[in-house]
Amino acid sequence: MTAPAAPAAARRAPLTGVVVPPPRPPRLALRALSVAVVVVVVGAFWSVDISWGRLADLPSEVVRYLWLMFSAPDWSALPEALRQTWRSVAMAWLGTVLGILIATPLSLLAARGHGPAPVRGALRLVFAVIRAVPEIIIAIVILSVTGLTPLTGALALAVNGVGTLGKWGYEAIEGIGRGPVEAVRAAGGSGPHVLRWGVWPEVLPAFGSFWLYRFEINVRSSAVLGLIGVGGIGDMLTSYTQYRQWSTVGVLLIVVVVVTVAIDAASGALRRRIMEGARARAVQP
């Protein structure tokens, strides 16, 4: 009885302890791809209507407007700015919570191995379509029903959050180890049992980090949504900018920057604590 023939790869690369690198891609294909990228970038650059004369004046104009805004800020607008900023943060928080409640179960169904293939495909398509639409466009569609209220902004942030949280969620689920899942199935657990005891404990830290990061994004986006009149600090910025009250605009920008940086720092610290755990401290004997 003759021994089976060795695979072709083994015949080409005998076991000599030397790693054989993969073949390099054809140089012609790389050059063609590089040329195509350069053509697209240059074409996109030249298709934009740019006034080069005004572009040269941009640095001096930026300095002039910075001086108008921050040389003598109108601090009398600070109480109203803080109140409107709180409204924007509340809008972002409500949008984040609603997005979490909707996206979390959908991401479980969209993960490979936990939902039917047609359902997975449909949900992933929905997530992609939602991510392709900016929050401000979603808000314009929603305001035809709810009107110009902070609820419109919160709902727009929630809908847009479903797209990002859903994608992050099913990718995190598919990236966990298979040990806990197989253990639950070996013990006779059903599909819900697998999700509850095999999947959820593994992905909860990542989900918590995603939720906090989405809240950071929503805080910044809520200021942009104010530009269409749904309330918050963005609405105030639009009004005072249109009337060219630059001293008040400077105060509003200071409040926005300080609040956003503070929320980002607090959220970042919480996300690091969730993902890395508490740091060990040396105990003096």
DSSP string covering the chain? -PPPPPPHHHHHS-SSSPPPPPPPPPHHHHHHHHHHHHHHHHHHHHHS---HHHHHTHHHHHHHHHHHHHSS--GGGHHHHHHHHHHHHHHHHHHHHHHHHHHHHHHHHHSTTTS-HHHHHHHHHHHHHHHHS-HHHHHHHHHHHH-SSHHHHHHHHHHHHHHHHHHHHHHHHHTS-SHHHHHHHHTT--HHHIIIIIIHHHHHHHHHHHHHHHHHHHHHHHHHHGGGTSSSHHHHHHHHHHTT-HHHHHHHHHHHHHHHHHHHHHHHHHHHHHHH-PPP-----
Q: What percent of the chain has pLDDT over 90?
A: 21
Q: Which residues of the chain have pLDDT under 70?
A: 1-19, 25, 50, 52, 277-285
- Per the structure, the complete domain to which residue 89 belongs is given by 74-275
pLDDT in the model for residue 11: 45
Q: Look at residue 146 and tell me if it is in a domain.
A: yes
What the block records as the tokens of 29 is: 């294909």
Domain count, the chain: 1
Q: Look at residue 118 and tell me if it is in a domain.
A: yes
pLDDT in the model for residue 112: 86
Q: Look at residue 173 and tell me if it is in a domain.
A: yes
pLDDT in the model for residue 96: 94
* pLDDT tens per residue across span 46-73: 777 767 677 777 788 888 888 988 888 8
Q: Look at residue 158 and tell me if it is in a domain.
A: yes
- Please report, for the domain that includes residue 109, its CATH number: 1.10.3720.10
Q: Look at residue 139 and tell me if it is in a domain.
A: yes
Q: Look at residue 136 and tell me if it is in a domain.
A: yes
pLDDT in the model for residue 197: 80
Q: Look at residue 52 and tell me if it is in a domain.
A: no
pLDDT in the model for residue 10: 44
pTM: 0.75
73 touches 257 (CB < 8 A) = no
pLDDT in the model for residue 277: 66
Return the closest-CA partner of residue 269 out of 207, 201, 216: 216
In degrees and rounded to multiples of 5, residue 244 shows phi and psi of 55, 40
Q: Look at residue 111 and tell me if it is in a domain.
A: yes
Q: How far apart are CA 123 and CA 181, in angstroms?
A: 22
